């Protein structure tokens, strides 16, 4: 290629480059105008620093409010769940306690023995007369226990007088020496012995005075009445 050819080629290339630069300028101008249109639509130029600070502050306040509302909601849910669990626990506990109390009551329920059973079984009767009245009237003992106290007292009386005799004047003689002979407490045995002494003194007094008197008969009828005794 000669010098003239090189010059023509350079001119052609320069012309093409001018066309490319022109198109680039047009693209840049178009992009610039689009950016200006977008800026106008958002009106960012009118947003001042104070407004932006106010927006930020309100945003933070809303976030804090949302957090507080969430915390309260979770707190109420937790309290509600706790109350429900507590109620269920109380209901189960009450049922369990009631069942245990019923079992204890059934277990501790005292069986009432009749007078005849105390007589025939010959169980030891440990009643002490000085405290018998308190034991029989205590509000803390059950009806069954109170009934057993009464039946033991009558059974002890039967055992005692079963071994006694009475003469035609009404004087009573006991053929026992101690409470152990009939399996009762010594205190109760001595009390019965004093009762006999009082009866015999009463008879002697009227015999000496020559006055009429009346004492209960110690016979089978009396003993049977003790076996069939029922408290009113």
Closest Cα to residue 222, out of 148, 162, 177? 162
Q: Say yes or no: 93 and 167 in one domain.
A: no
Return the biggest CA–CA distance within the chain: 191
Q: Is 36 inside any structural domain? A: no
Tokens describing residue 152: 């033991």
Q: Is 9 inside any structural domain? A: no
Domain count, the chain: 2
pLDDT digits (tens, 9 = 90+) for 61-118: 777 787 777 777 888 888 888 888 888 888 887 666 655 555 445 445 778 899 999 9
> Domain boundary residue among 109, 137, 160?
109
Q: Is 220 inside any structural domain? A: yes
Q: Is 174 inside any structural domain? A: yes
Q: Say yes or no: 97 and 149 in one domain.
A: no
pTM beyond cutoff 0.85:
no
Place of tokens 């007078």: 115
Q: Is 8 inside any structural domain? A: no
Helices (H) and strands (E) in the chain, counts: 7, 2
Percentage of residues of the chain with pLDDT beyond 70: 69
The answer, yes or no, to whether residue 204 has pLDDT greater than 80, is yes
Q: Say yes or no: 102 and 120 in one domain.
A: no
pLDDT digits (tens, 9 = 90+) for 206-229: 999 999 999 999 999 999 999 998
Q: Is 232 inside any structural domain? A: no
Domain of residue 75: give its range: 49-109
Higher pLDDT, 32 or 70: 70
Q: Are 175 and 161 in contact (CB under 8 A)?
A: no
Q: Tell me the pLDDT of the chain averaged across its residues.
A: 79
């Amino acid at each position: 290629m000669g010098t003239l050819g090189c010059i023509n080629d350079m001119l052609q290339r320069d012309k093409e480059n001018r066309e490319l630069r022109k198109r680039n300028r047009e693209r840049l101008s178009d992009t610039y105008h689009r950016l200006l249109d977008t800026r106008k639509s958002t009106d960012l130029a009118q947003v001042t620093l104070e407004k932006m600070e106010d927006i930020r502050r309100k945003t933070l306040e809303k976030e804090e409010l949302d957090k507080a509302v969430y915390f309260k909601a979770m707190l109420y849910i937790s309290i509600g769940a706790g109350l429900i669990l507590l109620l269920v626990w109380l209901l189960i506990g009450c049922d369990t306690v009631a069942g245990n109390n019923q079992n204890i009551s059934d277990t501790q329920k005292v069986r009432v023995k009749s007078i005849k059973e105390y007589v025939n079984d010959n169980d030891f009767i440990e009643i002490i007369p000085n405290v018998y009245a308190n034991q029989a009237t205590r509000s803390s003992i059950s009806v069954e226990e109170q009934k057993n106290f009464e039946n033991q007292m009558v059974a002890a009386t039967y055992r005692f007088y079963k071994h006694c005799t009475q003469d035609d004047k009404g004087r009573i003689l006991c053929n026992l020496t101690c409470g152990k002979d009939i399996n009762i407490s010594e205190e109760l045995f001595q009390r019965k012995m004093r009762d006999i002494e009082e009866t015999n003194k009463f008879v002697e007094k009227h015999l000496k005075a020559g006055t009429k008197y009346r004492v209960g008969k110690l016979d089978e009828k009396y003993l049977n009445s003790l076996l069939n005794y029922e408290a009113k």
